[in-house]
Amino acid sequence: MLRRFSINFALFSMTLDGLFVFLGLWLAGAVRPLMNSISGIVPIPSPVETPTILYVLFPVAWILIFSTLSIYDGRKYLHAVDEFVALSFAVVIASVSSAGILYFSYRQVSRALFVVFVLISYMLSFFWRLLARIYFRSQKIVPDRNHRVLVVGAGSLGVKVQQQMNEADLANLTLVGFIDDNRELL
């Protein structure tokens, strides 16, 4: 079973992102001839011949950039908004890098094809992460170990912590007691 904060999930995420970048490039090549009727886009013959090496370079480059920007660190992005902002930033950096690869190697690749590729790859990366978050949120996995909590300070904040623990009713947390240097509060 994949756990959200495990190394296996990070490797799974890298593999899935690489496959989606590959798929995005392939789908962009398939969709590009359909865009010939849009004004401002130069008509091209179908099908589009995307250089084969790009199917290797782009996924590797995107995974390296995502890794460098810590996209695969599940503990860094506990909130969905933070993860999707970081993902958007990483996609911008990866797409600029991919555009640089094209500029220095394969200039005949259509700009419209490239924009469609970036949009498809971003959407696929976004939606699989969204589905993963929904899946992990729906799972009510209770850790096996029981954690004992000792609250330091029996003042108003300590009492508030106790109330929140009681309201949350977590099966794996047990309040052991309070520690305070003021004997009147105990």
Exposed e or buried b for every residue in 146-165, given b needs 16+ CB within 10 A? eeeeebeebeeebeebbeee
Please answer whether residues 158 and 119 qualify as being in contact, where contact means their C-beta atoms are separated by less than 8 angstroms: no
Q: What is the predicted pLDDT for the residue at 172?
A: 78
Lowest mean pLDDT among 53-57, 82-86, 100-104, 182-186: 182-186
- Reported as a single tens digit per residue, the pLDDT across 128-185 is 999 998 988 887 665 567 788 888 888 888 888 888 888 877 777 888 888 888 777 6
Please answer whether residues 69 and 149 qualify as being in contact, where contact means their C-beta atoms are separated by less than 8 angstroms: no
Residue carrying structure tokens 């970036």: 118
Provide the 8-state DSSP code for 77.
-
Give residue 111's identity as a one-letter amino acid code: R
Q: Is the pTM of this model over 0.75?
A: no
* Bridge partners for 40 per DSSP: none
Residue carrying structure tokens 């555009």: 99
User: Element (H or E) spanning 175, and its range?
Assistant: strand 173-179
